[in-house]
Amino acid sequence: MEQRTIFITGASAGFGAAIARRFAAEGARIVATARRADRLDGLRRELGDDAVLPVALDVRDRAAIERVVAELPPAFAEVDVLVNNAGLALGLEPAYEADPGEWQQMLDTNCAGLMHCTRALLPGMVERGAGHVVNMGSIAGSYPYPGGNVYGATKAFVQQFSRNLRADLHGTGVRVTCVEPGLVGGTEFSSVRFGGDDERAEAPYANTEPLTPEDVAETVHWVASQPPRVNVNSVELMPVVQAWGPMRIHRTEP
């Protein structure tokens, strides 16, 4: 396979860093973006100067996204695969107690950030008649759970935005995939969700075997490595230990 250029948001931790490593292993060039530049520099030291271009980017800053894409150096400018991975869940409170500021941050990051990165990189892909947008959804976009309120809704946005992108891109040769993982351990996701409360953060993974960031990275690499005629629309993956819950019935005292 010829050398590809992969633009990854949220490459400083978790899935994003694992995805960078997976593509770098085949010799791809990685534009590694996130807010924490020191982490991205670490990735460059690990994978090599030619392999990784670290770029500090807060995806909530639309002007910065446009600037970063416009100023990509020639070796990294023709992006083959955009992995819209940056995202977060904040809190698990019911809607009537949740923090509106946290709701806004999830919307700004998971929805607006993802759509503006896509908007910035799509024209080049359409012009070249090739490219792939891989969006990081979640099972939370399909199945509601208590406290998932806005987080789940942002991931439902990611799923439907992915489908609508496909509708717009029909005939251009540009592909779109939504990857929708369930419980994955070994990332900062839960620690971020619970504001650094380690006990709460570790509870979902206790005594079980969740998916790993490498499982997700392998899935992203697989969807992006199919022949050009194949578009994998979506992939939902869960660990074997996870399945759907029963419908709940609230009963009053007799």
Residues labelled as active-site residues: 151
Q: How far is 5 from 80, CA to CA, in rounded Å?
A: 5
Q: Which positions from 148 to 187 touch ligand 8X3 by CB under 6 A, shown as an x/- string?
A: x---------------------------------------
Query: What tokens does 150 get?
Result: 């806005």
- Residue 28, classed as helix, strand or coil, is coil
CB burial string 81-90: b at 16+ within 10 A, e below: bbbbbbbbbb
Query: What tokens does 31 get?
Result: 């534009």
Which range in 5-13, 68-76, 132-140, 167-175 contacts ligand 8X3 by CB under 6 A? 132-140
Which range in 50-58, 93-101, 138-146, 214-222 contacts ligand 8X3 by CB under 6 A? 138-146
Our CB check for ligand NDP shows the closer of 60 and 166 to be 60
Burial of 74 (0-12, 13-18, 19+ CB in 10 A): exposed
Burial of 35 (0-12, 13-18, 19+ CB in 10 A): middle
By the rule CB under 6 A, 140 interacts with ligand 8X3: yes
Q: Which does 87 bind (CB under 5 to 8 A by kind): ligand NDP, ligand 8X3, none?
A: ligand NDP
Q: How far is 90 from 8, CA to CA, in rounded Å?
A: 22
Our CB check for ligand NDP shows the closer of 83 and 122 to be 83
By the rule CB under 6 A, 13 interacts with ligand 8X3: no
The answer to whether the beta carbons of residues 101 and 26 sit under 8 Å apart is no
By the rule CB under 6 A, 138 interacts with ligand 8X3: yes
Residue found under tokens 């993956």: 237
Write out the binding residues for ligand 8X3, residues 85-114 only, by CB under 6 A: none
Which range in 99-107, 109-117, 136-144, 213-221 contacts ligand 8X3 by CB under 6 A? 136-144
Our CB check for ligand 8X3 shows the closer of 113 and 148 to be 148
Q: Which residues bind to ligand NDP, rule: CB under 6 A? A: 9-10, 12-16, 34-36, 39, 57-60, 85-88, 109, 136, 138, 181, 183-184, 187-189, 192
Q: How far is 102 from 98, CA to CA, in rounded Å?
A: 8
Q: How far is 6 from 77, CA to CA, in rounded Å?
A: 10
Residue ranges that bind ligand 8X3, judged by CB under 6 A: 138-140, 148
